[in-house]
Amino acid sequence: ITPEAADRVYDEYLGDAESPAQVRDGLLDAMGDIYFVSSAVEVARYHRDTGNPVYFYEFQHRPSSVEGVVPEFVKADHGAEIAFVFGKPFLAGDV
């Protein structure tokens, strides 16, 4: 990565951070983009290039079932939409 690219990445995710919580949130956004968004966009492009329609969404609703289980700053974890899309029978346990 070039110094110019590193500066752009820093500015995008951490440039306006004024508190440790904002730094944390910026780093979480960066990691989410690296691990989930970039690969999802790549796969979506492959599907698009074959002529298929592609739809992309970002789920951000915090499930009430995570209260007291995950920190307040976590909005929706990977896979949190499953219960909303398919219903609670796909959840394990007595949730």
- Judged by DSSP in three states, 82 sits in helix
Max Cα–Cα distance, the chain, nearest Å: 51
Inter-axis angle of helices 3-14 and 20-32, nearest 10: 120
Predicted local distance difference test score (pLDDT) of residue 6: 86
Q: How many domains does the chain have?
A: 2
pLDDT digits (tens, 9 = 90+) for 54-94: 998 888 888 888 888 989 888 888 888 888 887 766 556 65
48 with 18, same domain?
yes
Query: Do 44 and 70 lie in a common domain?
Result: no
In 10 A of CB 85, how many CB atoms?
A: 8
In degrees, rounded to 5, the angle at the alpha carbon of residue 66 between the alpha carbons of residues 34 and 69 is 90
Please write the tens of the pLDDT for every residue from 9-33: 889 999 989 999 999 999 988 998 8
- Full domain range(s) for residue 80: 57-94
CB-based contact 39:56 (threshold 8 Å)? no
- Check residue 95 and give its pLDDT: 52
Looking at the structure, do residues 73 and 44 belong to the same domain, yes or no? no
pTM above 0.95, yes or no: no
As a whole number, mean pLDDT of residues 42-51 equals 96
CA distances from 94 to 38, 63, 65, 88 (A): 35, 15, 11, 10
Question: Do 14 and 48 have their domain in common?
Answer: yes
26 and 8 inside one domain? yes
Same domain assignment for residues 37 and 81: no
